[in-house]
């Protein structure tokens, strides 16, 4: 099982590499990696398991964070609606690709964090508010999905890891909380 010891931290060169496309049909090895990544996220959100294994809670993980330079991301975004308890995103994406996005930009009011970054880096991380992406799912089926707001931001953070980009690369270091007009701030 994946624990924090398996996650590489900023400064490791793999986090700055462009990850390789995953070969199709999906290999057993790549499927196993994806499954383990999703299990890590599930464990990290379980209070007992997170405490027992000292896991930091996460909603997304990218294979390069495990020093596997491949285009695989896992997402587990819990619901915030008690009427609809199933997670908003609960999936592994192979070769995810943003094919279009809104003109509207958005950022999270609390900034972003990363399992590969053991410090707070305050500041707005401005991203697209809405994205349309394609990816291959664990069944080997090509999927197309539209996402907005928080889910769209999480996916963009993870896809950045496939391109060697860290969230703080987007923060304006001179004035981290300066925003252009019209950027949606998501609470």
Task: List, by residue number, the catalytic residues.
Answer: 158
H, E, C per residue of 15-38: HHCCCECCCCCCCHHHHHHHHHHH
Place of tokens 């990290």: 44
Of the candidates 77, 30, 61, the residue with the CA atom closest to the CA atom of residue 160: 61
- Among 17-25, 36-44, 106-114, 174-182, which window interacts with Ni ion (CB under 5 A)? 106-114
Between 37 and 114, name the residue whose CB sits nearer to Ni ion: 114
Which listed range, 47-55, 71-79, 108-116, 144-152, lies at the site for Ni ion (CB under 5 A)? Answer: 108-116
User: Residue 64 or residue 129: which is nearer to Ni ion going by CB?
Assistant: 64
Size of the site for Ni ion (CB under 5 A): 1
Q: Which is nearer to Ni ion, 93 or 114 (CB)?
A: 114
114 touches Ni ion (CB under 5 A): yes
Q: Does 2 bind Ni ion (CB under 5 A)?
A: no
Identify which of residues 38 and 114 has a Cβ nearer to Ni ion in the complex. 114
C-alpha 6 chain-centroid distance: 17
- Residue 181: CA atoms inside 13 Å, Cβ hemisphere, count? 0
Vertex 63 angle, CA 62 and 67, to 5° = 125
Output the smallest distance, CB 140 to Ni ion, in A: 26
Q: How far is the CB of 36 from Ni ion (least distance, A)?
A: 17
Give the contacts of 144 (CB within 8 A, at least 6 positions apart): 99, 132, 133, 134
- Report in angstroms how near the CB of residue 114 gets to Ni ion at its nearest: 3
Q: Closest approach of Cβ 15 to Ni ion, in Å? A: 9
Which one of the spans 114-122, 127-135, 138-146, 177-185 is the region binding Ni ion (CB under 5 A)?
114-122
Residue 75 contacts Ni ion per CB under 5 A: no
**How many residues would you count in the chain?**
187
Contact present, 69 and 20 (Cβ < 8 Å) = yes
* Footprint on this chain of Ni ion (rule: CB under 5 A): 114
């Amino acid at each position: 099982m994946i624990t924090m010891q398996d996650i590489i931290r900023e400064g490791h060169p793999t986090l700055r590499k462009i990850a390789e496309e995953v070969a199709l049909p999906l290999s057993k090895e790549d499927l196993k990696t994806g499954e383990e990544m999703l299990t890590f996220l599930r464990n990290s959100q379980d209070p007992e398991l997170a405490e027992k294994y000292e896991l930091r809670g996460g909603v997304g993980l990218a294979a390069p964070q495990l020093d596997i330079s491949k285009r695989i991301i896992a997402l587990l975004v819990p619901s915030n609606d008690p009427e609809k308890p199933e997670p908003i995103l609960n999936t592994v994406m192979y070769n995810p690709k943003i094919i279009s996005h809104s003109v509207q930009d958005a950022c999270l009011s609390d900034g972003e964090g990363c399992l590969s970054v053991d410090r707070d880096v305050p500041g707005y991380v401005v991203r697209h508010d809405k994205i349309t992406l394609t990816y291959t799912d664990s069944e080997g089926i090509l999927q197309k999905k539209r996402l907005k707001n928080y889910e769209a931001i999480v996916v963009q953070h993870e896809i950045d890891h496939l391109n060697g980009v860290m969230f703080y690369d987007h923060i304006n270091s001179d004035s981290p909380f300066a925003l252009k007009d019209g950027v949606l701030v998501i609470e």
